[in-house]
Amino acid sequence: MSAPHTDVEQVEAANTAFYEAMERGDFDELSSLWLTPSDLGVDEEYHDPADSGVISCVHPGWPVLTGRAEVLRSYALIMANTDYIQFFLTDVHVSVTGDTALVNCTENILSGGPAPEDGDELGPLVGQLVVATNVFRRTPTGWKLWSHHASPVLAETGEDDENGRNGVNGANPDDSPLA
């Protein structure tokens, strides 16, 4: 049973490459990691009723972006507004089923915007706790991103804090018996 091990390692490497491309601000590399319909052998000219391989992306607090044009434009925008970004990934979990892989991870993000106009230094650094669900698809040239959904964690688990912000319907992670 070495094949699943190899799959997991390859998917983890693709997931890491995605975040490293963001850290380097390497837009071309980032673009190459996202799935195209032609990666799946789908003719992009022919209208596919199932929209095979159409990518989507949700940045924290954003609405859904669908299709390569919208998704890649958002990354160009974010890179233009970010001078420094680093991702410390924790709790990485991979589930591979057939030719699709689901990766959940926690993105501990440290980032800073461009310098203010009258200064030479970085904008202030901010930290963010974000969780992500990344869906990858197996292609002849490796695992490619089909979907990225990232969202802010509004309250920590494990705290006994009745003042935590609400999640769904007044239930929040602090109320959860999971902690």
Is 68 among the residues that bind a copy of itself (CB under 8 A)?
A: no
Rule CB under 8 A: which of 48-67 touch a copy of itself? 48-54, 56, 58-66
Which of 26, 102, 108, 142 is in the footprint of a copy of itself by CB under 8 A?
102
Which of 14, 30, 94, 145 is in the footprint of a copy of itself by CB under 8 A?
94
What minimum distance in Å lies between the beta carbon of 29 and a copy of itself? 18
Candidate segments 13-21, 23-31, 97-105, binder of a copy of itself by CB under 8 A: 97-105
What does the chain come to in residues?
179
Is 72 among the residues that bind a copy of itself (CB under 8 A)?
A: no
* Number of amino acids touching a copy of itself (CB under 8 A): 78
CB-count burial class (<10 Å; 0-12, 13-18, 19+) for 84: middle
Tokens of 79: 């890179």
Q: Residues near 162 by Cβ (< 8 Å), separated by ≥ 6?
A: 174
Q: What is the CA radius of gyration of the chain?
A: 18
Residue number with CB closer to a copy of itself (16 or 82):
82
Candidate segments 13-21, 23-31, 81-89, binder of a copy of itself by CB under 8 A: 81-89
Is 123 among the residues that bind a copy of itself (CB under 8 A)?
A: yes
* Residues 158/148/2/32 CA torsion (nearest 10 deg): -140
Is 149 among the residues that bind a copy of itself (CB under 8 A)?
A: yes
Closest CA to 75 of 175, 179, 145, 171: 145
Strand 100-112 versus strand 84-97 pairing type: antiparallel
Candidate segments 13-21, 24-32, 169-177, binder of a copy of itself by CB under 8 A: 169-177
d(CA 29, CA 22): 9
